[in-house]
Amino acid sequence: MPFDTLTAEKWIASDISPTPTSSKRKESRQRVLLRAQIHVVRSQSDLLVTDISRSGLRGSTDIDLRVGQPAYISLDDLTHVAGSIRWVQDGRFGMKFSKMLDVLPECAQVDLGHLPDHQERMPRTAARLKAKISLSSWSSSARVRNVSKTGMMIESDLPVSPDQQLLVNLSDGKILNATVKWVEGDRVGIQLTTPVSILHLTYGDLR
């Protein structure tokens, strides 16, 4: 289901807490106190986007989808966009985003149409974009305790194991792709698929 943007606590300091991998670190970490939503990836597949608007997209994929199902789309291999499946037909589908994308000019946000029964919608742009679609098996809230540009340590009661793929939703609603590296009790070390700035991770701005 769609989920709300999560807020970050305004606090940051040097990381002084040991973890199972502290002796192997090659990058500086910052100690933080962030809230996040963790999604365990059940399946992932390539996707061809055929048209897109700020509110949704249409595309085709080999993965099995059903109407109303939550899904996550990555257009840049860095972040994901959450949404729900609106229709499915012969490998093609339509998806509505849970949060608006900034992909079209502000001056052309709504297609007003000319017929009396026309329903307003965001204008769509024809495209042939390669992307990825991911489906989640379950989700849980988590606390992020420290971050680096390639990973983070979280606390969560979500049952995960090493090498499992996750989607991590931070404060601005953008969703990062990650892999579980180690688990110790309710603490989980995860590695981000694509490195990002520590400040971007801390304050939730990946733009």
pLDDT tens sequence across 192-203: 988 877 766 666
For residues 14-37, average pLDDT: 64
Give residue 49's pLDDT.
93
Predicted confidence (pLDDT) per residue in 136-166, tens digit: 988 889 999 999 989 999 999 888 999 999 9
Spatial separation of the C-alpha atoms in residues 30 and 169, rounded to whole Å: 18
- How confident is the model over 24-34, as a mean pLDDT? 75
Do 119 and 54 lie in one domain? The reply is: yes
Report the domain count for the chain: 2
CATH number where 147 lies:
2.40.10.220
Rounded to 5°, angle at Cα 105 from 119 and 2: 60
Average pLDDT, the chain: 78
Q: Which of 196, 143, 132 is nearest to 165 (CA)?
A: 132
In a domain, 182, yes or no: yes
Asked if residue 141 and residue 129 are part of one domain, the reply reads no
The answer to whether the CB of 34 falls within 8 A of the CB of 144 is yes
Q: Is residue 62 part of a domain?
A: yes
Percent of the chain with pLDDT over 90: 43
Which of the listed residues 134, 149, 170 is the one where a domain comes to its end? Answer: 134
Domain around 57:
44-134
On whether residue 1 sits in a domain, the answer given is: no
Q: Does 57 lie in the same domain as 119?
A: yes
pLDDT of residue 202: 65
Q: What percent of the chain has pLDDT over 70?
A: 71
Q: What is the pLDDT of residues 43-56, one digit of tens each?
A: 999 999 999 988 89
Lowest-pLDDT range, 7-11, 74-78, 146-150? 7-11
| Global confidence as pTM | 0.70
**Is residue 90 a part of any domain in this protein?**
yes
* pLDDT value at residue 200: 67
What integer pLDDT is reported at residue 69 of this predicted model?
A: 93
Taking only the tens place, the pLDDT of each residue in 60-73 is 999 999 999 999 99
